[in-house]
């Protein structure tokens, strides 16, 4: 099944509204990543939270190549902090900053980003761009 990326973002924006709690900040290594699974309406949503000290990013844990998780557990995350994260199925490499695939079978495609904010109690979903909700 070919799932359009805009559909995925629109669905995520509806399942993970702004303010949704993702994880505590201390669950994410200061220069590393953390796999988080959230149950929303009976559906499991797998996310990867990346942190480089105070800068936190989040992507849907779904490789655009075949739709597999990039990693199932934290210890399976292949990453170079601040530079890239690698899918551990066929080793596509994605840029840390924006999730664009720079090497591998889905070069030019990208991970689906989830906006985040760091609140007092941890990492929460931030405001989705308007086009994500309208997609």
For ligand FES, the binding residues (CB under 6 A) are 63, 65-66, 68, 87, 89-90, 92, 104-105
Residue by residue, what is the 3-state secondary structure of 92-128? CEEECCCCEEEECCCCCCECCECCEEEECCEEEECCC
Whichever of 66 and 83 has its CB closer to ligand FES, that residue is 66
Give the dihedral sign, CA 91/53/115/37: positive
Closer residue to ligand FES, CB minimum distance, 46 or 68:
68
Residues 60-86, buried b or exposed e (16+ Cβ, 10 A)? Answer: bbbbbbeeebbbeeeeebebebeebbb
CB 7, min distance to ligand FES, A: 19
C-beta of 13 vs 35, nearer to ligand FES: 35
Pick the closest to residue 47 from 119, 121, 128, 112 (CA basis): 112
Q: Give least dist CB 123 to ligand FES, A.
A: 24
Question: Cβ 23 to ligand FES, closest distance in Å?
Answer: 23
27 or 105: CB nearest ligand FES: 105
Smallest gap from residue 104 Cβ to ligand FES (A): 5
């Amino acid at each position: 099944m070919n799932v359009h990326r805009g559909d995925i973002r629109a669905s995520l924006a509806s399942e993970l509204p702004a303010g949704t709690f993702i994880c505590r900040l201390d669950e994410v290594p200061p220069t590393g990543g953390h796999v988080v699974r959230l149950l929303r309406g009976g559906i499991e949503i797998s996310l990867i939270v990346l942190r480089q000290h105070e800068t936190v990013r989040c992507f849907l844990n779904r490789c655009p190549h075949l739709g597999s998780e990039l990693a199932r557990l934290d210890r399976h995350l292949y990453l170079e902090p601040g530079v890239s994260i690698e899918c551990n199925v066929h080793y596509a490499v994605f840029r840390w900053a924006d999730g664009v695939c720079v090497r591998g079978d889905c070069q030019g495609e990208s991970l689906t980003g989830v906006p985040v904010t760091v609140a007092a109690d941890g990492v929460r979903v931030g405001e989705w761009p308007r086009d994500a909700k309208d997609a």
